[in-house]
Structure 1
């Protein structure tokens, strides 16, 4: 999903991504409990730049994440997946990866800078102007939603930014069922708390 957002010159099949992850010892069953390994995998198979963020999606990383998304590049973020694929808090027992490909900002005030153009049909909806470098609006947003997708879902959804922040920051435990199902998983030293908690990836071409 992230590769399609990056608009790579050629499609990288899922089978190739999984094969490299298995060869490098990043996964055993398809799991990925290390953001650092996910970064290495993305760099190798996509040939892209990857920035590993730690400390969560909120400050001091919030502006960097929003600017990254507004420029059209994807964010990879681990979180706990609820029954409807949206973020929840299960202490990491439902940990999955999602890709965010855009954002919707609720900005106060009737007008924006010339860097933004109003939609021709939906008044009050603005897009970054195509001929100018995209930038964040001057007024701080009152609401932030990320256009996000998890691998098992059919459609992108709008996720509340704070809910995703909170979900990403509480990934601390491997699901008990995984410790008793008889399968082998690749878990980094320090478990999910060290491998996923508060971490995310910014991908660029």
Structure 2
């Protein structure tokens, strides 16, 4: 079932949108030869020795550490990242969380993990939405990727943001269409009801989901009426099922009861837990204040997303200007989310 507000019109370029403050100068052309100093025919008669051999390539250093926006300004952040080691994969983080919080996950169920790995990017300032979109874009954009600076530039030019904040899911969808060239579906009415199975099938297929929610002190969803509005990207789901289908799944060699789809193997669709069965669905999510994945109870995310109604009083009084849509957070964020996919991807 398609949400009644799923159609996004392509953005129109407002007059005077290209300002000198937001524009990025074009790349310099490659250096052309200076014809004044071309060798004369007589000079070509002297044999030129061959160039020295190239040095050997540097040794592989393993997975890259997370990119941190503004890390060059902070030696403390740089040292913390160097000590943290490589970015963990979604599978590694899930196994760590399952072992660390055994009491949170029902022992009477078997668990199937679907996940697509993302790089990490630590935000600077109120850029959580743009950072979440950048991470999602690594699954959607060309191999060269779309830099965060490009997302910021387009958002500024279109009038979607002033400081990097994004308080409109519809504007975020238009930005994703223009900057990433992907399919966008805007969900309204929350993550429950008919939207629930649509979200789960989307994540099982390996597509990213962008969700606004209220952020607690540990980055998990909470309910603060929108005063702690934040963005996350989900690229996976952990399903608790009574039994795992026999076709296309393998049990984790290190953690009994956890199963993964076998790559390049036909996979029998898993049974989706019924709505109202607590503790059976967890979203695998990332947000711009940590380079670790988190597992969030689906109902907890749904409830947090449904109560984003008020702009933070502390933010309203901080002296900065923000772009807030008509109707505030109630119309811009509350009960909404974005399903993103490649243009050639099936639904």
Does the CA-based 8 Å contact 2:210-2:231 persist in structure 1? yes
The alignment status of 1:159 with 2:292, answered yes or no, reads: no
Cα distance between partner residues in 2 of 1:81 and 1:172: 14
Alpha-carbon displacement from aligned partner over 1:17-40 (angstroms, at most 9, x marks no partner)? 101100000001111010000000
Q: Structure 2: give runs of 5+ residues left out of the alignment.
A: 1-134, 343-347
The alignment status of 1:125 with 2:268, answered yes or no, reads: no
Cα distance between partner residues in 1 of 2:256 and 2:298: 24
The alignment status of 1:193 with 2:335, answered yes or no, reads: no
Cα distance between partner residues in 2 of 1:92 and 1:133: 42
- Cα deviation for residue 112 of structure 1 reads 1.7
The alignment status of 1:80 with 2:214, answered yes or no, reads: yes
Structure 1 or 2: more strand by fraction? 1
- Cα deviation for residue 5 of structure 1 reads 3.2
TM value normalised by structure 2: 0.56
Other-structure match for 1:148: 285
- Cα deviation for residue 127 of structure 1 reads 2.1
Distance 1:174 1:136, change over 3 A: farther
Cα distance between partner residues in 2 of 1:139 and 1:173: 34
Alpha-carbon displacement from aligned partner over 1:101-153 (angstroms, at most 9, x marks no partner)? 101111113x4241433334433222234335666412526511111011111
Q: Structure 1: give runs of 5+ residues left out of the alignment.
A: none
Superposed CA RMSD in Å reads 1.7
Other-structure match for 1:184: 321
Distance 1:196 1:139, change over 3 A: closer
- Cα deviation for residue 166 of structure 1 reads 0.5
Cα distance between partner residues in 2 of 1:133 and 1:186: 46
Other-structure match for 1:91: 225
Other-structure match for 2:145: 11
Does the CA-based 8 Å contact 1:100-1:148 persist in structure 2? yes
Which shifted more, 118-127 or 95-104?
118-127
Determine helix, strand or coil for the equivalent of 1:5. Answer: coil
Cα distance between partner residues in 2 of 1:56 and 1:202: 13
Alpha-carbon displacement from aligned partner over 1:156-175 (angstroms, at most 9, x marks no partner)? 11111111000000000000
TM value normalised by structure 1: 0.92
Cα distance between partner residues in 2 of 1:168 and 1:133: 34
Cα distance between partner residues in 2 of 1:133 and 1:170: 40
Other-structure match for 2:199: 65
- Cα deviation for residue 11 of structure 1 reads 1.6
